[in-house]
Amino acid sequence: MGIRKLGYVGLHVTDLDAWTELLGRTLGIGVTTAKSGTDDVALAELDEFKYRLALYPSTEDSPREMGWIVDTPGELDRLTQRLTDAGFTVKDGTAEEMRLRGATRLRWFTDPVGYRVELAVGEARTRTSVTRPDGTNPGATGLGHVVLASPNLAELRELYESVLEFRLTDYRAPGLFFFRCNTTHHSIALANADTPSIHHLEFEYGSLDDVGRAYDRARVNGAPISISLGRHMNDKAISFYVRNPSGFHLEIGCGGIEVGEDWVPHDFGVSDVWGHHHAGANPFASPRP
């Protein structure tokens, strides 16, 4: 498969200070800054690579880009042709965009929702090891997955499954689908909704203790815990969620399963083994036995 993993997400944000406070003080994630044009962009360091989350100061909160890492330049060309044949206009990223992302090649297109989707070759290992709160190492170890909610569910499924060659792992009727591009259970999930949004972005942590310590810090610091600690039914991950300053969820989790070539997609029924109690309405609620 040409796409290897979810590489990074960029967001327009209205309250950069609140984001930095949540990431650093509560979630134990180092944040540095870099120039993008005349703007100072905040870069969240989750692992040894340059960044996984980029925060661009703005007058609105909205997704800016989703970046997928592609194995080779040849695979980038192949996927570009598949996108072109499917009717998408693919453009080259600028030299400045490649520099900021640490990529050697970069192309992008607009998905059926209107989001910018990037395909990048190369990742820069330039972690600066910024100071983190006590008790947060190793803490975050990577970017896990993104969940998109949209009325354009059929078109998004066609893009990711048929054009970009993601594989369906499992689903829950009537409108929630999980897709993988490697052995991880899922790197993206697509859900039916009246309006498009990022439902949540998941950060991987090194252990259950790391997740638990982040949960304790969230409670002590008054971070808005939107979904309590629990274990998912489908990927078996243990996690909790906080509402971020842009209004959607961040999932803090560990322990998700991997799947092999012989995996059979199926409806996994109820959403959770235990826990994951929502502070507000759950748009993906399922009946419990």
Contacts of 265 (CB under 8 A, 6+ apart): 168, 169, 170, 171
In degrees rounded to 5, what are phi and psi of residue 138? -75, -25
- Which pLDDT score is estimated for 287? 45
- Which pLDDT score is estimated for 288? 40
144 and 268: one domain?
A: yes
- Which pLDDT score is estimated for 174? 87
- Closest to 136 in 3D by CA, of 202, 69, 203: 203
181 and 260: one domain?
A: yes
DSSP state of 258: B
- Which pLDDT score is estimated for 139? 79
pLDDT along the chain (289 residues), means of 10: 93 96 92 86 90 95 96 97 98 95 96 97 72 64 95 97 97 94 97 94 95 95 96 97 96 96 95 93 57
Q: How far is residue 128's CA from residue 222's CA, in Å, rounded to a whole number?
A: 28
Domain with 244, as residue range(s), is 140-275
Residue 282 lies in a domain: no
- Which pLDDT score is estimated for 39? 83
- Which pLDDT score is estimated for 173? 87
Kindly report the pTM of this predicted structure.
Answer: 0.93
Q: What is the CATH number of the domain that holds 58?
A: 3.10.180.10
155 and 200: one domain?
A: yes
Domain count for the chain: 2
98 and 148: one domain?
A: no
